[in-house]
Homo-oligomer: A and B are copies of this chain.
Amino acid sequence: MSFNFFVPIERELEVVERNLICNIDSSVPILNEASQHLVSAGGKRLRPAFALLSAKIFKDDINDIIPMAVALELIHMATLVHDDVIDDSEVRRGTQTVKSGWGNRVSIYAGNYIFARALSIIASYGRNDILDILADASMKICEGEIVQMMSSFDITKGLKNYLRRIERKTALLISVSCQLGAVLCNANQRDINALKLYGYYLGMAFQITDDILDYIADEEVLGKPTGSDIRQGVITLPALFALKYSSKREELARLLASPQLCNAYTDYIIEAVIDSGGIDYAYEVSSRFAFKAQKELALLPDVEVKKNLSDIADFILQRNY
């Protein structure tokens, strides 16, 4: 993904990056090392970017949004560390995970520590509406993780279950990021809502795109092997389509329901899903969400930075990734 969208907030994103490192400053060396490792592993910093871009709609000087942008990335990072424990992942974003470097125990506490650090930043705003929004999102994200876990290798779960999973996995925190950018600028309720929905729809589109890439991406670009979802029993939109419409649907059902077969026949499953048209279908659904996101922007004040938010949706609509 190109980063031209972020030009208006480039300086602020650099400050976020520096703060991410400074903010993890524990007196316990191993906690510092694990957290620093996590920060330096990089990532697109999408949540900070969305909070900053959203705020930029309402005012030019958005320095007061930077701590919140940092907190949002810390919360995201905390969920990643815990996911690594759970998925037994050894690689994320192309580098070693905290878990594989330091073990399960450190990962759980590092996740909790990073989350608490985010809370302490949030406390500095002295606004309980923000905490309320984040506490609510955190609960829903946990619920989503459990739903995802319970749905592993379960081929009977349908579209509704999938949408619920990706909503909680990705869309919610991106939605909250956009929302909080506006809330901190004391935007009016209509504008806050438009950005919240923009983030929600865009987050849905993003996750579907991500799920597509797990089938078709270059492993080097992806930073992890393709087919990881399949091996972990995470049945995403392309597979859901194939399970319904592929000529091999019965065979696919048998394979996708079994951890052993998913591991042994990953490449075969990928090919069958692509052949079924599942990728095109997923692109279609993703585009529909991106379009909905774009529509929400129409309600917002007509300022330059709105173009950037719109371009991000366009990027998905044009399948540029």
Give chain A's interface residues, CB within 8 Å of chain B: 26-28, 30-31, 82, 85-86, 104-106, 108-110, 112-113, 115-117, 119-120, 122-128, 131-132, 134-136, 138-139, 142-143, 145-147, 149-150
Contacts and interface: CB of A to CB of B under 8 A. Distances in A.
Given A109-B146, A115-B115, 17 more contacts: A26-B143, A28-B147, A82-B112, A86-B104, A86-B105, A86-B108, A86-B109, A109-B149, A110-B142, A112-B138, A113-B139, A116-B135, A116-B136, A117-B135, A117-B139, A124-B132, A128-B128
23 contacts: A26-B139, A26-B143, A28-B147, A31-B143, A31-B146, A85-B104, A85-B108, A105-B149, A106-B146, A112-B115, A112-B138, A116-B135, A116-B136, A116-B139, A119-B119, A119-B131, A120-B131, A122-B135, A123-B128, A123-B132, A124-B128, A127-B128, A131-B131
A108 B128 contact: no
Given A31-B142, A128-B127, A128-B128, A136 B120 contact: yes
A149 B125 CA distance: 34
Given A125-B128, A128-B123, A112 B142 contact: yes
Nearest to A149: B105
A30 to B, nearest CB: 6
How many copies the complex holds: the figure is 2
B119 A138 contact: yes
B116 A146 contact: no
A62 B217 CA distance: 59
Contacts of A139: 26, 113, 116-117, 120
Given A28-B147, A86-B104, A108-B85, A116 B142 contact: yes
A122 B27 CA distance: 27
Contacts of A145: 109
A146 B28 contact: yes
A150 B128 CA distance: 36
A62 to B, nearest CB: 21
A210 to B, nearest CB: 21
A104 B85 CA distance: 9
Nearest to A86: B105
A156 to B, nearest CB: 16
B109 A135 contact: no
Contacts of A124: 128, 132
A85 B128 CA distance: 32
Contacts of A86: 104-105, 108-109
Nearest to A85: B108
A125 B129 CA distance: 10
Nearest to A82: B108
A119 B146 contact: no
Contact of A119 (B31, B85, B135): B135
B142 A123 contact: no
Contacts of A27: 143
B116 A138 contact: yes
Contacts of A82: 108-109, 112
